[in-house]
Amino acid sequence: MSYVVVQNLAKSFGDTLVFSNINFTIEKGEFITLLGPSGCGKSTLLRCIAGLNSVSDGHIMVEGQEITDLPPQKRGIGMVFQAYALFPNMTAKENIAFGLKIRGEDKELIEKKVKEVIEIVELQGREDHLIDELSGGQRQRVALARALVTRPRILFLDEPLSALDAKIRKRLRYLIRQVQKDMGLTTIFVTHDQEEAMVMSDRIFLMNAGNIVQSGTPDEVYTRPQNEFVAGFMGNYNIVNEALSRDYFGTTSGLKTAVRPEAIFINEKAQGVECTEKAVPGKIIFKQLLGNVMRYSVDTKGAEFSVDVLNSNEQIYNEGDEVKLYFTKSEINELRA
């Protein structure tokens, strides 16, 4: 049996249904991300598994044990929130040790465990500072250390990085992932940030309107979107209607298609890549420099395509240039309704 099993889970607040018929399994040591827009039910789902919210129906099992009706403190779960939830009148070290003291663990053992986890989250030299004396990133490390020090069966992270600036977010997501791998922690991470989900996860569960609409590895979810919502949420896909898909790509399914900007070539087919036979004429109507990538908007009179090419001095197109587009065959994704 899988390490975590969720069966037919449902949650309502009064007459408002948040989600229903949620089913998934998680293997021991996996890093799972619940990804989706605000209001899709991902945080409520996490809180139900953690025991912070009751469930309306369904079952939750960890290591073969039914935990659906257990109180949170008996589920063996460590939680890290966006808002830290730290005690301002305590030092970083005292905050980290709090859960162990509540358990009544030996003082020397607490000191040893706290010292170990402070090194893991790289807080050496800051352990005797009060919370108000720490930066946002350091406070989040304290919150992470407090969750880790109890050696939880599962680590839950609910939007822990969203209040931090971009540079600190990148550093902390790398740290969290390394700690998770080193400790072999089964982890469920909630975010609305696609980039975070892509770089941190073993698998992504993409949610929309209370449903898991697609799950898989980051590569699977990004490169093989199953419907228009996934294609729209996971990147800058070009969505092509049924008629143009038939005309441009030769599809016969009567479905819309999605093509990534980097899977389109301007004027020349890429070597070693099988492209569509038909060259689609268009005009450059806009260009935008995105670091090492130049993004062109190309009007084909039937649709407007975003095309990403590596920025180089070898070939730069200008607004108004007439061009031809070629599409990578293997990257044309048909979308379910």
For residue 277, the model assigns a pLDDT of 85
- 311 to each of 62, 262, 284, 285, how far by Cα in Å? 49, 12, 16, 18
For residue 133, the model assigns a pLDDT of 94
For residue 91, which amino acid is it? T
Nearest CA among 24, 69, 65 for reference residue 153: 65
Share of the chain above pLDDT 90, in %: 85
The pLDDT mean for the chain works out to 94
Mean pLDDT of 104-120: 93
- Write the CB contacts of 239 (distance below 8 Å, at least 6 apart in sequence): 228, 231, 232, 256, 257, 258, 335
Query: Where does residue 215 rank: exposed (0-12), middle (13-18), buried (19+ CB within 10 A)?
Result: middle
Candidate from 80-89, 149-158, 290-299 with smallest mean pLDDT: 80-89
What are the tens digits of pLDDT across the range 125-155? 999 999 999 999 999 999 999 999 999 999 9
CATH H-level, domain 236-334: superfamily: Nucleic acid-binding proteins (2.40.50.140)
For residue 81, the model assigns a pLDDT of 86
For residue 69, the model assigns a pLDDT of 95
Residue 250 pLDDT > 80:
yes
Alpha-carbon distance of 170 to 182, in angstroms, equals 18
Class (C level, CATH) for 4-232: alpha beta
For residue 24, the model assigns a pLDDT of 98
For residue 163, the model assigns a pLDDT of 80
For residue 249, the model assigns a pLDDT of 94
For residue 82, the model assigns a pLDDT of 81
Q: Among positive and negative, which fits the CA dihedral 224, 228, 229, 233? A: positive
Q: Among positive and negative, which fits the CA dihedral 43, 49, 54, 60? A: positive
3-class DSSP state for residue 241? coil
Candidate from 14-28, 178-192, 299-313 with smallest mean pLDDT: 299-313
For residue 313, the model assigns a pLDDT of 62
**How would residue 337 be classed by pLDDT, with cut points 50, 70 and 90?**
low
pTM of the model: 0.91
For residue 311, the model assigns a pLDDT of 84
**How would residue 164 be classed by pLDDT, with cut points 50, 70 and 90?**
confident
- For the chain, the domains span 4-232, 236-334
